[in-house]
Amino acid sequence: MHDIALAFPSLPLARGAVAAVWLYEGLWCKVLGRERNQVVVVEAVPVLGPKIGRHFLLFLGVVETALGLWVLSATMPGLCAVAQMVLLVMLNANGLLWARHLIHDPGGMVVKNASFLILAWIVAAMSGGVS
């Protein structure tokens, strides 16, 4: 068995990975409307429906884009990690509650998002923002 020395990814690389997810989900998928299934999922929420759903999705895309930019700014990384966690937990909970039947792999969504949040917390900790 051989030991291979691996360098821990740099903070800018890890920060860029977290920001890229938020920018992709917010700007590409929601603001630019490149992921049609997200509209269908949001419209399934009873208080939103087709009338408000698209506008809410656009607003959510702006919020997610802003989160990506916040991650890149490295400003208040601990608070940024908390904001990411709160938003993602809320989105997952509502998606599972109202649109589970429209989500291709609900369990996979939760596992991937939990893993992503761990990376977000690691970035905050590496930045000195989480104690």
The contacts found for 50-58 with CB under 8 angstroms, 24 or more apart, are 57/30, 58/30, 58/31
pLDDT at 1: 66
16 is a domain residue = yes
2 is a domain residue = no
6 is a domain residue = no
- For the chain, report the end-to-end CA distance as a whole number of angstroms: 36
CA distance 120 to 11: 11
131 is a domain residue = no
Tokens 């920018």 found at: 23
54 is a domain residue = yes
103 is a domain residue = yes
Mean pLDDT computed over every residue of the chain: 94
Q: How far is CA 120 from the centre of its chain?
A: 9
pLDDT at 4: 80
Instruction: Provide the domain count of the chain.
Output: 1
Residue numbers of the domain that contains 55: 11-126
DSSP string, the chain: ------PPPPHHHHHHHHHHHHHIIIIIIIIS---HHHHHHHHTSTTTHHHHHHHHHHHHHHHHHHHHHHHHHTSSHHHHHHHHHHHHHHHHHHHHHHHGGGSS-HHHHHHHHHHHHHHHHHHHHHTT---
pLDDT at 130: 59
Question: Which residues, at least 6 apart from 56, have a Cβ–Cβ distance to it below 8 Å?
Answer: 42, 48
pLDDT tens by residue, 106-124: 999 999 999 999 999 999 9
pLDDT at 6: 81
pLDDT tens by residue, 22-59: 999 999 999 999 998 999 999 999 999 999 999 999 99
Residue 2 — very low, low, confident or very high, per pLDDT cuts 50/70/90? Answer: confident
19 is a domain residue = yes
35 is a domain residue = yes
